[in-house]
Structure 1
Amino acid sequence: MAQANGETPPVAQEKINTDIVTLTRFLTEEQSKHKEATGDFTLLCHALQFSFKSIAYYIRRASLINLSGLAGSSNSTGDDQHTLDVIGNEIFVAAMRSSGKCRLLVSEEEEECLVFNESSKARYAVVCDPIDGSSNLDAGVSVGTIFGIFRLADNAEGKQEELLLPGTELVASGFTMYGASAQLVITMKGSTVNGFTMDNALGEFILTHPNMRLPKSRSIYSTNEGNSMYWDEPVKEYFNSLKYPTEKGGKPYSARYIGSMVADAYRTLLYGGIFAYPADKKSPKGKLRILYECAPMAMIMENAGGQAVNNRMERMVTIVPEHIHDRSGIFMGSYDEVQKVIDIYKKYH
């Protein structure tokens, strides 16, 4: 439509960012900062990236191609396996085997550590929970993948005992959350935490949350209060102090619990607060697996400025698992919020 002066009005133009930082570019730039880098770690991360993209694709299509529901078997830790659990695990195994850079793979879905002898010179080991929170899949709730990467010693023989390492030995860890969009959070040893969002049109993870930092404190807690009957006294006192503050003018904390560790951790990372899955009388050792759930998440929280501890108030990243599926309780999140738990435990011990 012409304006009064006869000129055509300007067309609204979308501002286009042509300097996009993809995960591939990010990893390449990180590699260039280390003169000793051989490129093996970067290639391994590319194989991981393919796994995340594949799982994200199948989760989006799950209801359409009948991938929901139980697969009729149980995994190594006794949980019922969902169809997508099995597919996610197979995707991970195939990607790690074909990468040529992974010697050992520990998966929640595999009873034993997988050894890729065809990659006998590979010096990396990957630990993962391919689809965490899969019991929520049929309800359309966000689920995710948790992973950690270790570098094996040069004289490593390719035995699963060589992976009974604390989180302080992780060279990288992260998780992918499959929700409205696929979100990938990754961190490396002594580095920052960075968040990427999957752009389905480009087929790439795009850097959208650089240098993620946890707020030092936030009045949000995330835990399964259905277990409170089994909690130890310090845990009960801690959560009661959040719900029934004694100081004048104190307000109760907000409760936010999804029941999918990745989704709860991601929200905690963005907004602050605390996520807790403590050991209790029903599960004296705890419920979450140290090697591929607790340690990778603890590394992320610490690198983002937070804390993560077990039920003995020890730094989660210092705990050495007794076996590859060993479990622990965990408290993680904003620094000051986790410190409140530590302070209450001190009164009891």
Structure 2
Amino acid sequence: MSIKSDKDALALRSQKLRALLRISIATVAALASISSANATESALGRPVAGMSVLSGIGIVPPEPVTIVSIEQIYIDGSIGGNRQVPIAGKASLGVDAQIAFTLASVLRVWGGAGGWDFASGITVPYVWTEVNASFAAGRVGTSSSDRASNLFDLYFTPIVAGYHFSQTAHISLSFNFWAPTGRYDPGALANASLNNWTFVPQVAFTKFVPKYGLEFDVVGNLQFYTKNTATNYQNAPLFTLDALALKKFPNGLGMGLVLGTVQQLGNDSGPVADKLNGFVGHDFSMGPIVTYDTKIEGKPLSASLRWVPSIVSVNRLKSTTSVMATATIAF
């Protein structure tokens, strides 16, 4: 084999390793759409605007590989006392919540068939949350607070299927679901579960512009909830759309901008939701992201940090402290 061929082979392998990292983070980033503010029960649904998109979200690499990822998410938000919020089977006068998630994820890329590449994974989340709410009893107002710290609902990704239109354009389709495995108390303000199944079909697209070191990523999904039988609360479906524009530098550093929105499709239903006219909501978030790619003992390592504060929020926790950090390694 010629020296040029050797260099080409090494360059191709390096490109594939980078792709492995991108899909590992991006697939698990979909998992980062964990409980935070949306106009569902407790104003705590699954998606967090601006947290589902990451570099290479549309890429499923062609080589079998196992990927491990750790993520940390922190949100500190509120809904003002002029709005009622369905929580603990009642309607509170506003709510304040701090939420911290630690997620450990494993993703396995299996290889390809028929021009498509396939992967699957699982995420085990741990949650710490503190919630404060006010309630009215006649003319008397009372305040309550609660705290929970436990394993959260498990997140499964049975299948991710990726297709490469070219070396610079990629798409992935996935089916994901949340299982109500966390501890749940219908009378508690803070819980480690939403007590429902949530099904999440998703599509993602990645486009590279190598000449300028630019990358553009978009991911959208629909979320369908089963009824919380403990409170008789039915969350309406949600539509989420996140986008990322990223500038990559030769030293492995990347800097960019994240945009995200969550839109409720219809009214929530149930005794409390009906009193609140369906508790319909939406929001929009925007903020910067920094990424870094390197290698440790020959194994590719990727990390990122983002801040995506709420810009507009209706019937959702409005947070100016929405932060996510990730670290991922491929074996």
TM-score tier by shorter-chain length is under 0.3
Higher helix share: 1
Q: Which has the higher contact order (CA 8 A, sep 6+)?
A: 2
TM-score (norm 2): 0.27
Higher strand share: 2
